[in-house]
Amino acid sequence: MWSRFSNPAKFEAMARVIGPISLGVFLVTATVGLGLGLFYSPQDYQQGDAVRMMYVHVPAAWMAMGAYSFIAVMSLIAFVWRHTLADIAARSAALPGAVFTALALFTGAVWGKPTWGAWWVWDARLTSMLILLFTYFGYMAIWQSVPEQVRAARFARILALVGFINIPIIKFSVEWWNSLHQPASILRADGPTIHPTMLIPLLLMIIAYTALFTWLVVLEMRTSLMRQRIEKRAVRAPSRPVSAGMTDE
């Protein structure tokens, strides 16, 4: 199954399909989701219209984590099966992931102002989101500071994997450190607790963000592969023995 993803030519063919589709899905779901969320969903009885921030904030926070998980999985694949395409996929996800994380922080702050009365509150989830942003920065810094791409990829795999293992510890420690945020309310064993009129636009927005992420990653991967192909032309052929037949007989 991996061969389809590890072969650049096959990936290219697939990307030509996946790219436009995900862009289309993004445009449709984002339009409908935002329309429903901003105009046709009810106000919150406590938060009023401020609750509409949820439709841009929650999916961003979701994708911040999702993108990092994607990076970690790709790094693991690259680590175990040595697929360079997985390295490229991981790197391509870093910038969109960091932007989603920053967006989650920003929308969180804007949402926080009317809800908590302050732009920034050191609550558990905002804080772990901030540390996640630093994790992204570190990951991107590794790619930036190693000149040879293959070496950079190997360092980056290591960092992505340890960083991923570290995430639960961050979550746990930050929650211990401080918790006054509302508990997660979409995925619960006893079913969603928010009303369908709010849930549907929220789910649409999550799909929209995921599609946007997919489109961005595929786009960046194609660019990287193109650059790689151009650079490959400059690579010299490997050297070989000039005098053959090195035996002592």
Partner 1 sequence: MEPFAHPISLEATDVGCDRVGEPVVRGVSFKLRPGNAIQLFGPNGSGKSSLLSMFAGLIEPAEGDLAWQHENEKSLKPLDGSLFFLGHETSLKLALTAEENLKFWADMYGVRKSLCEAKIRTALAVVGAAEFSGVRTMRLSAGQRRRIDLARAVIADRPVWLMDEPAAAIDTDGVTVISQMIGGHMKRGGIAIVATHDDLGPNFHRLELGR
Partner 2 sequence: MTSSDPLSVLFAILRRDLILAFRSGGGWFYALFFFAVFTALAAIAFGPSLNALAIAAPATLWLAVALAIQFSASDLFENDLRDGSLRVIASEQTGLMTYWGAKVCVMSLTSVFPMVIASPFFLTMLGLSFTQGLGVSLILLIGVPSLIFIAVLTSALATGLRAGGLLAMVIAVPFSAPVLVFAVSATKALLAGFGIITPESLILGAISLFMAVLTPAFTVAALRVSLE
Return the amino acid letter for 2: W
The alpha carbon of residue 43 and the mean position of all alpha carbons in its chain are separated, in whole angstroms, by 30
d(CA 42, CA 197): 7
d(CA 142, CA 119): 31
* Alpha-helical regions (H) of 117-146: 124-145
Return the amino acid letter for 140: M
The footprint of partner 2 on this chain (CB under 8 A) covers a number of residues equal to 28
Select the residue interacting with partner 1 from 1, 9, 150, 189 (CB under 8 A). 150
Contact track, partner 2, 130-159, x by CB under 8 A: -xx-xx-xxx-xx--xx----x--xx--xx
Return the amino acid letter for 16: R
Cross-strand partners of 44: 48
Question: Please, which residue, 165 or 226, has the CB nearer to partner 2?
Answer: 165
Cross-strand partners of 73: none
239 lies in the binding site for partner 1 (CB under 8 A): yes
Residue keyed to tokens 């995430």: 167
234 lies in the binding site for partner 1 (CB under 8 A): no
Q: Which does 20 bind (CB under 5 to 8 A by kind): partner 1, partner 2, none?
A: none
Select the residue interacting with partner 2 from 17, 38, 118, 165 (CB under 8 A). 165
CB of 161 to partner 2, least distance (A): 7
Binding site for partner 2 (CB under 8 A): 131-132, 134-135, 137-139, 141-142, 145-146, 151, 154-155, 158-159, 161-163, 165-166, 169-170, 172-174, 176-177
